[in-house]
Chains A and B, each alone.
Chain A
Amino acid sequence: MRAPLPVLFFPIFYFFVSITPIAYLFVSNTTLGGASFNALVFNWLFTPELVSILYSTFMFASGGAALATLFALVYAWLVVRTDVPAKSLLETLPTTFLIVPFIVKSLMWIILLSPSIGVINKMLSPLLNGFVFNIYSMEGLIFAYGMGGFPFALLSIMPVLKSMDTSLEESARILGLGLLKTFFRITLPIIFPSVFTTFLLLTLIGLGNFDYPYILGGERIKTLATEIYYWTNQIVPPRYDIAVTYSLIYIITTFTGVSIYIWYTRKTFKFVVVTGKVSQKTVHILGKWRIFAFVSCLGMLTISFILPFIFLILTSFITFGALAEGLRLDFTLENYQKLLKLPLMDKSFINSISVAIITALLCTTSAIFMAYTSLKGKIRGSIFNEYLNNFPLTFPGIVYGFGLFWLILNIPFLSQSLYGTLWVIIISLIVIRLPYSIRFISNNLLQIGDELEEAARVSGASWFKSFTSVLMPLVKGGMISSFTYIFIESIKEIGALILLVSPNTIMFTVYLLQLYSQHAAAINVVAAGSVLLVLVVATSLALLKALERMQKL
């Protein structure tokens, strides 16, 4: 069934809004009294500084991705393929960590692993001959991103292990192969394409990440994302021309990465993990190692999230002096009181919630039409769709944010109508998040046959009537999932917003970041804000989940 013409407005509009700012970066004459743009690009392309920045960007992204994938692989195998106790708890607990923003995770690691105030460093350094683990180093960055990406990697690897045909493993065990050898010779080769895809995906996400390198990398570790911010916001006067140059290099880098990712995922479709053969799923019996496996899983969760979060909460209840003295537990509510008295606190909070709700609503609504056009509009399967689906990876948040900022700044009509409004932030978030929304709706829409809609049309319903009365109720589940995901991700986002916020449109995460980086001794107040942020996101998630359950009843 063909979609009516007006429905095509959504994909066309999305294409226009998403591509225009990026295209404008390419075509605009970006100098503000400096050298010509081409000369700048050429100059910067061949500097040792760029090589170092590219190296840091790749090291951080691929190192963190490798660590997260490895951690998730071991964890998922223990939970899915063995008889480890408390499987259900171990399966669901890590996914809740996804709601925690990267800025909060970064702060957690500073509290634990800063060379000076890090609680773990303070405890272990005397035992390790004065050795301290420096979270502000490249190793520290990789570790932080590895732990932060672990729940995401788990979500990607666990379903593959669950759906894997276990008969080959069983045969190997029957033939006398040990547990580890079975894993390395049978299991790993079967699931390797998915594991590698997870690694590639996390590398691409890492390439676009702004939060970790900005907070933990400081001036010593520069990545493409932090350099764009540096040249636009941390130099006097701002050098937009250099920021544009870096943005273009960034896009070329991520576009290459996404192309490799698409090529690899297309290629790996040839691997068959799920067959039509029905077999009884068995798990490896660990025997006396069961408890050890459980403790290992719990240990991984503790290291990656539970311990840092506990210390974040503790930090929010002590004074800065007590933290500087090695986490002296002298509890106070002072930080929360200070936080609530901050002038932009209310505004930033209301802005974040409002923007998240509007973005989630608009994304979900647009996604319904776009998914419909894509799946039912007979234009599916093109390579263009795949790039569209991976748009957020191709154009990192900070690049799109900068493109939009630059476009608005240079076009008087846009600057008069959009600059300093929440709409510019909402547009940025929609463009960055819409592809994910489409995925949620598409998965749901795929399960609905055309005959239902056709029956409605034959019975005299208009296209709009059949769409709203037949299709939409059936994709309600996908809509709620889309709304939930976009709402949470919008509250967490920093990269796509940081160049677009103004005092009137300040967002809570950006406000926390400003407090952390500019004010003396503010880390405890930021910790209080972080706890509050996690609580709000967790409560929203719980409410939306309750809503989802209600609609299923």
Chain B
Amino acid sequence: MSGEKVSRRNVLTASVAGVVGLGVGFASGFMLKPAEQTARTVEITRTVGGATVTQTLTQSQIDLARKEQTVVIYGVIDIPDFENVMKTAFLRLYPWAKVEYVGLSPSEIVSKSLAEYKAGKVAADVIWNTLGSTLPLVREGVIEKFDNPMIGLMGYAEGAYDPEKYWHPMSGLPIVLNYNTNLVSPANAPKSYEDLSNPKFKGKVAIDRPSLNNVAGTLFAHLYPILGEQKWRSLMQGISANQPIFTDSASASFTKVSTGEAAVSIGLLHDYLGNRGKVPVEIAWAEPMTALPVPLFLPRNAPHPNMGQLFIQWAVSVDGLLALARTGRTPLHHVVAAYTLPSGLLPSGVSLEVAALNNPDYYNNPTKWSELYRSIFGV
């Protein structure tokens, strides 16, 4: 990011219309063709929505990565989802690789990475964390620039990737309102973000601490330019006056709603999809509909930088994005997202926007926003 302003883009145009036709071509044309180990290059060819995409990795790139063999990933994705889906998919292509995944909270990833960098003992080769939480690490010099050829090959939409090459697009997780159906009827469920300040939900709303710049923090930052300073402050103060239950993550907020400790929460779609039918929770969509960017980063002085690069290149490719979609998460690629989102889930005729891209100040000055939230919510 490095101080450059980010322009507003609707990169996840996930309207249901047209997705079916796109999906047919996409599914039928999907093809993996790793070349034989003796070849000078490795070609991975895929057909995405009728267009063919070929990723070419030179044998020397693979050899360098293979020598390192191990890739250590610090990430916010649930451990079982990573182990059972993402890791399996990566190992199908690179069976010789050793993948170690460490599931941490967004703030823990930041503090661990910063401490390890300062101690000169970086352990992670890839960081997979929310954009807002991780950008302070870019400023501290913890993140390495990486010119990822896959970004161009995949035709990522402008705004979905970092022109400065510090972060690499992975998931854009749709932000939803969860409600416990035993405590709130569909008629009484919140229909807008303003409803979170309604006194009928006093003490019953769970949100991850906005000062973490995670889900709630990024969503609120998105609302800022839309509502304007005065209305925005008034909403924030209203939500704060409603004495929300603060958590460390949106997943923890989802747990609180599932158990009934909270009636409503700001959450992420994949938590709902992963537990649909098992717990008394339903979702409500409020406008504007946004998706939380959770990209990948390459740490500076990583112990296995070639493996880190290899994993990132794979993750942002169709193969990686499809694996991600199988965990219930939404890829930050407009075509793959449109194809993989469950049909009928999104209200028709609406589009998802990448959260807070309409507010460049949020991504350029994350610490300032963190402090602002602390001053409003006290945590």
Contact = CB atoms under 8 A, between A and B. Distances in A.
B62 to A, nearest CB: 25
Nearest to A114: B261
Contact of A419 (B111, B121, B246): B121
Contacts of A237: 110-111, 114, 136-137, 140, 367
A518 B111 contact: no
Contacts of A521: 254-255, 258, 275, 278-279
Contacts of A82: none
Contacts of B295: none
Q: Could you tell me the dominant secondary structure of chain A's interface residues?
A: loop
Nearest to A117: B259
Chain A interface size, as a band, is 35 or more
Given A324-B258, A503-B102, A523-B255, A236 B78 contact: no
B121 A416 contact: yes
B378 to A, nearest CB: 8
B123 interface: yes
Contact of B102 (A338, A344, A420): A344
Interface in B202-256: 209, 211-213, 245-249, 251-252, 254-255
Given A114-B259, A235-B107, A237-B140, A415 B245 contact: no
A409 B115 contact: yes
A213 to B, nearest CB: 14
B199 interface: no
B258 A420 contact: no
Contact of A518 (B101, B104, B120, B261): B104
Contacts of A522: 255
A296 interface: no
A385 interface: no
Contact of A236 (B254, B258, B370): B370
A219 B275 contact: no
B51 interface: no
Interface string B52-82: 0000000000000000000010100011100
B353 interface: no
Given A236-B133, A409-B115, A517 B261 contact: no
B111 A233 contact: yes
A218 B115 contact: no
A28 interface: no
Contacts of A408: 119
Given A320-B278, A412-B120, A416-B120, A520 B103 contact: no
B121 A420 contact: yes
A338 B79 CA distance: 10
Q: Which of A321, A504, A520 has the most CB of B within 10 A?
A: A520
B282 interface: no
Interface in B248-285: 248-249, 251-252, 254-255, 258-261, 271, 274-275, 278-280
B153 interface: no
Contacts, number: 151
Interface string A387-412: 00000000000000000010011001
B278 A517 contact: no
B83 interface: yes
B379 interface: yes
Contacts of B252: 517-518, 520
Contacts of A412: 120
Contacts of A324: 258-260, 279-280
A343 interface: yes
A518 B251 contact: yes
B364 interface: no
A343 B111 contact: no
B101 A343 contact: yes
B121 A415 contact: yes
Contacts of B259: 114, 116-117, 323-324, 523
A476 B82 CA distance: 49
B106 interface: yes
Contacts of A519: 78-79, 103, 251
B105 interface: yes
Contact of B110 (A117, A236, A319, A343): A236
B255 A520 contact: yes
Most buried by B among A236, A343, A412: A236
B116 interface: yes
B116 A236 contact: no
B249 A518 contact: yes
A514 B74 CA distance: 13
A85 interface: no
A115 interface: yes
A53 to B, nearest CB: 12
A506 B74 CA distance: 13
Contacts of A520: 78, 251-252, 254-255, 258, 271, 274-275
Nearest to B246: A219
A29 to B, nearest CB: 15
Nearest to A115: B261
B248 A234 contact: yes
Nearest to A405: B115
B4 interface: no
A218 B102 contact: no
Contacts of A236: 106-107, 110, 133, 136, 211-213, 366-367, 370
A299 interface: no
Contacts of B287: none
A320 B107 contact: no
A523 B260 CA distance: 14
A229 to B, nearest CB: 10
A517 B370 CA distance: 21
Contacts of A235: 107, 211-212, 370
Contacts of A302: none
A266 interface: no
A109 to B, nearest CB: 14
A502 interface: yes
Given A342-B79, A408-B119, A503-B74, 8 more contacts: A237-B136, A321-B279, A415-B120, A415-B121, A416-B121, A419-B116, A514-B105, A519-B103
9 contacts: A219-B247, A235-B211, A236-B110, A237-B137, A321-B278, A325-B280, A343-B101, A408-B119, A409-B119
Q: Which 7 A-B pairs have the closest CB atoms?
A: A116-B260, A415-B119, A520-B251, A219-B246, A503-B102, A321-B278, A419-B119
Interface of A: 114-117, 218-219, 232-238, 319-321, 323-325, 338, 341-344, 405, 408-409, 412, 415-416, 419-420, 502-504, 506, 514, 517-523
